[in-house]
Amino acid sequence: MIRPPHPPSESPSAGTHHHTPRRRILVTAAAMLAMVTAGVVLSGAGTAGAADVTFPPPDATHGTSPIGGSTPMCPVIAPIPTSPPAVTGPDSVKPTIPGKPVVTSCGGYRYITWAPSQDNIGVRNYVLVMTAGDVVSSVTTYATGYRLWGGDSYMVFRVEAVDYAGNYSGASESTTVGTPPSCPTPVTCPTGVPPTTSGPATTSAPPVPTCSVAYTITSQWTGGFQGDVTIRNLGPASVNPWTLGFSFPRGQKLGQVWGATATQSGAVVTAHSVDWNKLIAPGGSASFGFTGTWTGSNARPTAFTLNGGGCQVA
């Protein structure tokens, strides 16, 4: 319990019990606790050396902790209003694209926040996609932000909105934290120029693929799953636009796709870039997500092609 000091006029004297001042103190403390619970900002104005302190609203799963002194305040992550609209018929209107993620480091955490999307019936949740090296993960959040403990030195963040009818928005602009390695893994950096040899011609080694593809099953349930595919450009030149090809090995069927346009013929899937992610700079990447169905087993594809050439499987 927060207990403010007795005002001079209410300081208890020795041997005397003052019940009224004690009730005032308890009421004041309760009022302050109610202000904390409501997510208010308590200002230190008028108190020498005090700093503003931000308390999170109680229903924000990923909020802030009180930070005092000279330490900057952590961002407040606002929850989505929890009053779903009454949907009376089919809806195909996608939410607007969320704002570009903003990453702030505070108190050992990374706070990823973004401007909210707009939708004709209402935004239900957001999907934050995080790429660290060749590992792609996603998380569903019911707030306009997410608090991540630690994280790799090099990460890429993007976000999509989902409305109450299940429509996905386009992906936001990506935000990169850190500097990508000069020689991306798993390619081995050359250590020198091989010496020239004379003699009979030898068969040259096949060219090293200039791309890698990470295929991740982000969630799975009986008969269905959600996947994410990230293409990384390992070559010296930009790729613009791109077409990715692969085959499902166990009869899986492609469902909804976002971040690309895709078709399936038999087991073969062909995915084409869209305007906002068609350019992959050297060392850069592009991603798209999808839903699908499966029976028996949900094995991952074992080979990928980018614009007709083979890619490494990350």
Q: According to the 3-state scheme, what is the secondary structure of 252-302?
A: CEEEEEECCEEEEECCEEEEECCHHHCCECCCCEEEEEEEEECCCCCCCCC
Most confident of 10-14, 61-65, 168-172: 168-172
Nearest-CA neighbor of 273 among 308, 297, 243, 298? 243
What CATH number does the domain located at 102-177 have?
2.60.40.10
What pLDDT score was predicted for residue 51? 28
102-177 shares its CATH topology with 211-313: yes
What pLDDT score was predicted for residue 70? 43
* Cβ pair 312, 213 in contact under 8 A: yes
Mean local confidence (pLDDT), 192-203:
55
Mean local confidence (pLDDT), 216-223:
92
DSSP SS3 for 241: coil
Q: Which two tokens stand for residue 147?
A: 């608090």
Q: Where are the domains of the chain?
A: 102-177, 211-313
Q: Report the length, in residues, of the chain.
A: 314
Q: Which two tokens stand for residue 286?
A: 């592009």
% of the chain residues with pLDDT over 70: 68
Which amino acid is present at 175?
T
Could you give the count of Cα atoms lying within 13 Å of 265 in the half-sphere of its Cβ? 3
In terms of phi and psi (left: phi > 0; alpha: psi -120 to 50; beta: otherwise), the region of 8 is alpha
- Give the neighbor-by-neighbor strand order of the sheet with 309-313: 253-258, 285-293, 224-233, 211-221, 309-313, 304-306, 243-247, 268-272, 261-265
The CATH class for the domain spanning 211-313 reads mainly beta
Q: Give the count of beta carbons closer than 10 Å to the beta carbon of residue 290.
A: 19
What pLDDT score was predicted for residue 190? 53
Q: Which residue has the tokens 């169905």?
A: 293
Least confidently predicted of 23-32, 78-87, 254-263: 23-32
